[in-house]
Chains A and B, each alone.
Chain A
Amino acid sequence: MGVLSSPLAGSLVVAVGWLVVAVLGLVPTNNAFFARRIAFPLGALAGVALAAFGLQAVWLPTQALTLPLGLPDLPFHLRIDPLAGFFLMLLGSVSAGISVYSAGYFREEPSGRLALISLQYHVFLASMAFVLLADDAYLFMVAWETMALSSYFLVITDHRQPAIRSAGFLYLLIAHLGAIAILLCFGVLHGGRGDYTFDALRAAQLQPAWASVAFLLAFFGFGAKAGMLPLHAWLPEAHPAAPSPVSALMSGIMLKTAIYGMVRVIFDLIGNVRWEWGMLVLAVGAATTLFGVLYALMQHDLKRLLAYHSVENIGIILLGLGMSMVFIGFGHPAAGVLALIAALYHTLNHAVFKGLLFLGAGSILHSTGLRNLNDMGGLIRGMPRTAFYFLIGALAISALPPLNGFVSEWLTFQAALQATVIQHGVVRSLLPLFAATLALAGALTAMCFVKVYGIAFLGQPRESAHPSPLPHAGDAGAMERYGMAWLAAGCFVLGLFPTSFLLILNRVGVSLTGQGLSEQALAGSGWLWLVPTAAGQASYSPVIFLVVIAAATLLAFLLVRRFYHGRVRFAAPWDCGYPEQTSRMQDTADAFGQPIRHVFGPIYRMDRRLPGPEDTEPRYSLKVEDRHWYWLYLPVARAAEFVSSKIALLQQGRISIYLLYSFITLIALLVFVR
């Protein structure tokens, strides 16, 4: 029973358990059956256990442990505190749903391939757990790189397609750029003294300039993994390439480990947060948010669209983190903790609803073979259950009450409204502007999901240019549905009972900043009421909200039924009486985005072909490209190519010249160490 009482030991057991499941999957001969029936369900159970341990850790004092593993004199340090506990809870609970789903999703994979997927999948989960548990820079980097590599192999599951291979390469490249920045950041924090445990890094007193350097390295290093502008380019490439449960795992959880790293390094290890850092985070966050949603509106590939929404949501989380840093930097920790809570709550919420949406996209892909929205239509009739779960996810991501996305945006707004406590005039008036960005992004997200849902699930099936490779095979399988139902239930629980999570996150805030929410806030909060500052200032009760709206809707229904008849006739659609109607007359995904393209024209790089008047086969084509490719990535790539072509001059092919290089190096070293 020792394991159950210690969340650290328990989490370690779960992480090791995942590794064991991963390796065991390779052993049996009929390993497809094993993976489906045993490995993935076991992984899901382990996830639930991990969530429980994480929850327990939030309420217990910090625990630490040194493992007798690793390099000589460099053992692995583990530690669990409320922050790690919260993220372990996120990892465990969300991955449980995705693992159950995977058991159904991979049902048609051949044996050998499935064993490999199961291996990489569970190694991926375990490495994320170790990232969260690590208490020294060494173990952290080992786990971080394992995470990057295992997810890379998962992305290129279908490695026979060149597009997928190049997407995987881009992902690996940016992941490593980020990893180098993180490594340098640890180096700066270390400063040549002591060892690499987080305790030593925390104790180091940095010059302000070096602290800022460490902040910048951590921000961009972790930002590259999180998909922050302008290092987001891998996200919309890698997510469509990966199998859907893997996309869900990467978008839902892996991006969040980057947020974890950011919070851990900036708030905990560097400490002494400065408000100027917060302003940078806010500016990048606002740009990321708007960019993500505006590009999402232009997509017609469902998974790519969802990937751009991940970019947007990372931006929203950054807005919360930035506000928190500004408040703390100005010496208002109570408001800072509120903003931090908002950011972390959105982290959890995004994991849940984005996981759900990716799983929904996976089910569509699985039963119809379609990924392009312009080929879909009317799926609600063939797959009503998937449609139901997807609707919940769509409402949640659009920040509509009473679901979970709304709660975290509400908290972010409340944090922005605390701006009056700041004395600095410009900063005080800028904070509400960032709230305005958030409001704009929220409304645009709603538009985008009307587009997704309306075009994929509603309307008539479209006569597609690429007919579906599979017949409409019906709804998602049972395991897939259980996985989605788990996450959909999460959307409701997080949306309806936010106060319990507020208290959990308050513990996290206390452990990071030494301060929590105000007394009034904690006194005013019960399970029914969410009160972030004081009862007179703001309150929200999702349960009452839901009850009233459901009651009003039902009352309307019952009254109409009671006093009038329920007669219904069925007919052809009216459509202003136009006689000819085909499914081609419906809006396509591109058409739905057209007003946005018109309003925000300069943001996009468009390549549009309109048919001329004499075209016998009129075709309209539109390609929207990311401007970042042209002003950032391609120039950098060209520069890198140029530099490497110069370096390639060293390669002469003659042995004696190579020996000369070695000789010069030797002489130089001898001079240097003299």
Chain B
Amino acid sequence: MNSAPGIAFQILQSVFVVLAAPLLTGWVNQCRAWLQNRSAPSILLPYYTLAKLFHKDAVFAHDASPIFRWTPYILFGCMWLAAGIVPVLATGLPFAPAADIIALVGVFALARMFSALAAMDIGTAFGGLGARREMLIGFLAEPAMLMTLFTAAFISGSTQLTSIVDTLAHREFALYPSLAFAAVAFLMVLLAENARIPIDNPTTHLELTMVHEALILEYSARHLALIEWAIAIKLFAYMTIGIALFAPWGIADAGDWSALPYAFAALAGKLALAGAGLALIETVLAKLRLFLAPEFLSTAFLLAVLGMLTHFLVKG
């Protein structure tokens, strides 16, 4: 399990995810611009933004506490860890057994808790508002995510993401009705957790509707850059979890260098499609009123639970 090629794969994947994540964000933005008949920005725009932000001077409020100062780094660390757990390019990575799907949900929860605390640190009206709304979305999205993952865990008899992917990708082809429910629930959670359109609008700074932007309102310069980067990694991680659960074909085994180019190409293709799909969803849907968000997410939660029940009845 702890062989040298495995570790090399692990490091390769972690670095790859961190570097490639802003590209995915750029691609989604580009697709959305095309769909909305705007001239699209460069796909590399997120990188330029990050570089610009890193060079600026950071501004803090007068009595920011250590929690405020450390949260960007903790967020980044959490997302980086999540990127290490998810089998993006290969299964059987050496770090995978250290944290399973429940721990993965735990990492996202840890990040959410710290970002909400940091938002409340300065004591502004918008910070508290953002924290409250973020936790409102989180308290339903998190169990929905967990139930979705449990459905997959029941199918494969394991809570390790890498074993789940192994089972789904390499076993004899079979259709799982329960995964249909899980897929819908997962999509809804993905939209909510990544501050996407029916729940939140990633491009808005309109005070009354924003959720995620209100959380990071007080951040600037390198701290903001780290947060933006962490958000990009989060989107990347969620998309690769979705790919791992619902379209795992073509993933390589750890240490198998020859399968790597194919795995890479398959991943790029699937991500490009998923990104375009996300842009399409964001174009055709309208943002929900804030108090419809719990309804949206409880639907996701109940669908995930239903998927689990279906698994027990229809052993497909």
Contacts and interface: CB of A to CB of B under 8 A. Distances in A.
Given A436-B143, A454-B131, A569-B58, 19 more contacts: A380-B67, A381-B63, A401-B99, A401-B106, A406-B103, A413-B159, A420-B154, A439-B143, A450-B113, A459-B120, A536-B160, A537-B160, A537-B163, A540-B102, A548-B95, A552-B76, A553-B77, A565-B57, A571-B61
Contacts of B57: 565, 567-569
A381 B62 CA distance: 12
B28 interface: no
B110 A538 contact: no
A458 B139 contact: no
Interface residues of B, number: 80
A538 B100 contact: yes
Given A432-B308, A568-B60, A417 B117 contact: no
15 contacts: A380-B65, A381-B63, A400-B106, A425-B312, A447-B136, A458-B123, A459-B127, A545-B99, A552-B77, A554-B73, A556-B73, A567-B58, A575-B127, A595-B136, A596-B136
Contact of A575 (B103, B126, B157, B226): B126
B189 to A, nearest CB: 12
A550 B125 CA distance: 32
B67 A410 contact: no
A129 to B, nearest CB: 36
Contacts of A460: 63, 123
Given A433-B305, A450-B113, A569-B57, A401 B103 contact: yes
A560 B103 contact: no
A428 B313 CA distance: 10
A458 to B, nearest CB: 5
Contacts of B107: 401, 549
A18 B33 CA distance: 73
Contacts of A564: 54-55, 222
B61 A570 contact: yes
Contact of A455 (B119, B120, B154): B120
Given A398-B113, A560-B222, A575 B128 contact: no
B78 A549 contact: yes
Nearest to B166: A536
Contacts of A170: none
B98 A377 contact: no
A414 interface: yes
Interface in B146-161: 146-147, 150, 153-154, 157-160
The 10 closest A-B pairs by CB, nearest first: A587-B128, A459-B123, A553-B77, A454-B120, A439-B143, A460-B123, A552-B77, A447-B135, A575-B124, A541-B98
Contacts of A553: 70, 73-74, 76-77
A539 interface: yes
B131 A450 contact: yes
Contacts of B112: 446
A33 interface: no
Interface residues of A, number: 86
Contacts of B116: 450, 454
A458 B67 contact: yes
Interface string B289-316: 0010010000001000100110011000
A553 B111 CA distance: 12
Interface string A11-36: 00000000000000000000000000
B256 interface: no
A44 interface: no
B254 interface: no
B132 A587 contact: yes
A535 B98 CA distance: 11
Given A432-B308, A433-B305, A538-B100, A552 B81 contact: yes
Interface string B164-208: 000000000000000000000000000000000000000001010
Contacts of A536: 158, 160, 163
B139 A440 contact: yes
B73 A417 contact: no
User: Which of A453, A541, A570, A573 is most buried by chain B, counting CB atoms within 10 A of its CB?
Assistant: A573
B62 A572 contact: yes
A575 B147 CA distance: 37
A586 B226 contact: no
A417 B154 contact: yes
B54 A560 contact: yes
A587 B214 CA distance: 14
Interface in A410-467: 410, 413-414, 417, 420, 425, 428-429, 432-433, 435-436, 439-440, 442-444, 446-447, 449-451, 453-455, 458-460
B284 interface: no
A330 interface: no
B124 A586 contact: yes
A399 B77 CA distance: 18
A142 B138 CA distance: 48
Contact of A557 (B73, B218, B313): B73
A538 B157 CA distance: 9
B63 A378 contact: yes
A583 B113 contact: no
A502 B213 CA distance: 43
B80 interface: yes
B142 interface: yes
A569 B147 contact: no
Nearest to A377: B123
B122 interface: yes
A576 interface: yes
Contact of A417 (B74, B110, B150): B150
A540 B301 CA distance: 25
Contact of B124 (A428, A544, A585): A585
User: Which of B59, B132, B163, B217 is most buried by chain A, counting CB atoms within 10 A of its CB?
Assistant: B132
Given A398-B109, A564-B54, A564-B222, A538 B120 contact: no
Given A553-B73, A569-B59, A450 B217 contact: no
A589 to B, nearest CB: 11
B251 interface: no
A364 B87 CA distance: 45
Contacts of A669: none
Contacts of B117: 450, 453-454, 458
Contact of A595 (B58, B78, B132): B132
Contacts of B35: none
B234 interface: no
B275 interface: no
A458 B119 CA distance: 9
B276 interface: no
B120 to A, nearest CB: 3
B222 to A, nearest CB: 5
Contact of B226 (A432, A556, A578): A556
Contacts of A433: 305
A586 B140 CA distance: 24
A581 B99 contact: no
B97 A450 contact: no
